[in-house]
């Protein structure tokens, strides 16, 4: 096997590809075989798209920092055994790497398992951290829904022994803050507890060894109708029809929370009672955090990953703020220009994961949330395309321009002064550019100011500072120029 690295993408190629050490190796082979299908589920981003992404990242990081998080980083690949058995039925989506040095490696599937491994290896018992990085999944990509094989996750986690539901409530508060600030449209945060699910499965007659696989099926209720979910439980996974019908009683009602609190059968389960008690406590904290308007208790939420042990949650957009789309269960296909988006954030409590990597099995309670940046970006990109507002792809504050010919050296001297003062500036790479061309570049790029040099300005020791939007001009002494530019661009 030959691994060839191309900017932003790493692909594993088979032995049919000529060796780079072969004298007959021809780069045209790559050009001829570099098709879209080879990079299915990945994409390139142009400067405008990157400007939108950067804005979203800044919003998310600002929120994480506001809540006191510090950041870490981990390798893009892990030992295969580190990832195996942590993701339930989704483990089949892990990208395996060719064994090239005696170790079986895989690309990371998420940022949670590497975080747990990091805590165990470094014997860390308390940390509040965020991590933004790419993860990889051998999934069937759906570009119109913002689902890729290579994508970023933005994770916030709290590790440590704390009183119940306080860190969990803060994670939900963070999701609420981010989605509100990004202004994506109306959203809901669904909340459940794995212990309530397990208790429900037990009282419905689901065998213990089928809890996790039935949990993965229940998690599909946001995409499939109940009959399709029941069919998978009974005909594909071997659950009795009676047990499936019992599950349907609990996950099918609108007055779910009230009924569960009164349900004598559920109250016979110790696990379910503990989960319901924590749910009530969680909502009391969420009320103090002023986010209960967006949070709902939903027993159909299952979160298919195996490592969750308690509270789980998922944020969905109920109105994406973009063109309407047909739901996934509808017979009508969404139009190509519309973005159909599912979950945009999810997470929960995983108290047993760190102990899997600790030699002595020492547990570190953890709770966290992951923001689905790619799905959010799909919406932000479409909104930007529909808007008449111009997107700036640079942060240049001032263009250093010349009104006459043969002033390149003077422009270079001035721009050096501005750069040394921390001002974002640029100039055209021509000895004698036309003033009109320089001004047009500023208008097209959104540069707010132009510092114009001319023979008369040089004699008078001033620079003509032009406001690109209003076209107002004023002479500023060379000594006061830096302060004036900073004053005008400080906002």
Angle at 158 between CA 370 and CA 271, to 5 degrees: 85
Q: Is 112 annotated as a binding residue?
A: yes
Q: Is 308 annotated as a binding residue?
A: yes
| φ/ψ (deg, to 5) at 256 | -55, -55
Instruction: Report d(CA 281, CA 164) in Å as an integer.
Output: 8
Instruction: Report d(CA 391, CA 223) in Å as an integer.
Output: 35
Q: Is 488 annotated as a binding residue?
A: no
Q: Is 303 annotated as a binding residue?
A: yes
Instruction: Report d(CA 437, CA 463) in Å as an integer.
Output: 19
Sheet-wide strand order for 295-297: 70-71, 127-136, 150-159, 366-371, 343-349, 311-317, 187-193, 295-297
Angle at 318 between CA 347 and CA 257, to 5 degrees: 65
Pairing of strands 343-349, 77-79: unpaired
Q: Is 157 annotated as a binding residue?
A: yes
Q: Is 110 annotated as a binding residue?
A: yes
Tokens of 94: 């892990």
Q: Is 313 annotated as a binding residue?
A: no
Under 8 Å between Cβ of 343 and 315: yes
Instruction: Report d(CA 365, CA 310) in Å as an integer.
Output: 11
Bind-site residues: 110-112, 137, 153, 157, 303, 307-308
Bind-site residues for L-histidine: 110-112, 137, 153, 157, 303, 307-308
């Amino acid at each position: 096997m030959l691994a060839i690295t191309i900017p932003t993408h790493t692909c594993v190629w088979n032995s049919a590809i000529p060796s780079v050490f072969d004298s007959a190796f021809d780069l045209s082979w790559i050009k001829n075989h570099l098709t879209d299908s080879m990079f299915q589920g990945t994409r390139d981003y142009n400067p405008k798209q990157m400007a939108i992404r950067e804005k979203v990242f800044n919003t998310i990081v600002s929120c994480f920092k506001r809540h006191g998080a510090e950041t870490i980083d981990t390798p893009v690949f892990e030992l295969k055994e580190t990832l195996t058995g942590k993701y339930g039925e989704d483990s089949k989506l892990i990208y395996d790497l060719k064994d090239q040095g005696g170790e079986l490696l895989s690309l990371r599937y998420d940022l949670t398992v590497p975080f747990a491994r990091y805590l165990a290896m470094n014997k860390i018992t308390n940390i509040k951290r965020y991590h933004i990085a790419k993860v990889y999944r051998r999934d069937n990509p759906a570009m119109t829904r913002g689902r890729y094989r290579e994508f970023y996750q933005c994770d916030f986690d709290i590790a440590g022994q704390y009183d119940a539901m306080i860190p969990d409530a803060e994670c939900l508060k963070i999701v609420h803050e981010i989605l509100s600030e990004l202004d994506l449209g109306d959203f809901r945060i669904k909340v459940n507890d794995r212990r309530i699910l397990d208790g429900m499965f037990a009282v419905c007659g689901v065998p213990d060894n089928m809890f996790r696989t039935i949990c993965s099926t229940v998690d599909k209720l946001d995409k499939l109708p109940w009959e399709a979910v029941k069919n998978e439980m009974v005909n594909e996974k071997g659950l009795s029809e009676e047990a499936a019908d019992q599950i349907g009683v609990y996950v099918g009602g609108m007055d779910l929370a009230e009924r569960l609190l009164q349900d004598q059968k559920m109250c016979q389960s110790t696990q379910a009672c503990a989960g319901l008690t924590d749910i009530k406590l969680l909502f009391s904290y969420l009320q103090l955090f002023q986010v209960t308007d967006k949070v709902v208790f939903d027993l159909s939420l299952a979160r298919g990953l195996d490592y969750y042990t308690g509270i789980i949650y998922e944020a969905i957009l109920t109105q994406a703020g973009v063109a309407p789309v047909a739901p996934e269960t509808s017979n009508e296909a969404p139009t190509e220009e519309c973005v159909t988006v599912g979950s945009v954030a999810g997470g929960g409590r995983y108290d047993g994961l760190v102990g899997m990597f600790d030699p002595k099995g020492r547990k570190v309670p953890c709770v966290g949330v992951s923001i689905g940046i790619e799905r959010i970006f799909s919406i932000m990109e479409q909104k930007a395309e529909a808007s008449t507002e111009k997107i700036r792809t640079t942060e240049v504050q001032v263009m250093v321009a010349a009104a006459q010919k043969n002033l390149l050296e003077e422009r270079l001297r001035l721009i050096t002064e501005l750069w040394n003062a921390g001002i974002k500036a640029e100039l055209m790479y021509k000895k004698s550019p036309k003033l009109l061309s320089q001004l047009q570049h500023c208008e097209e790029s959104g540069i707010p100011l132009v510092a114009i040099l001319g023979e008369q300005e040089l004699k008078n020791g001033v620079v003509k500072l032009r406001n690109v939007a209003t076209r107002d001009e004023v002479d500023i002494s060379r000594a006061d120029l830096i302060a004036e530019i900073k004053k005008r661009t400080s906002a």
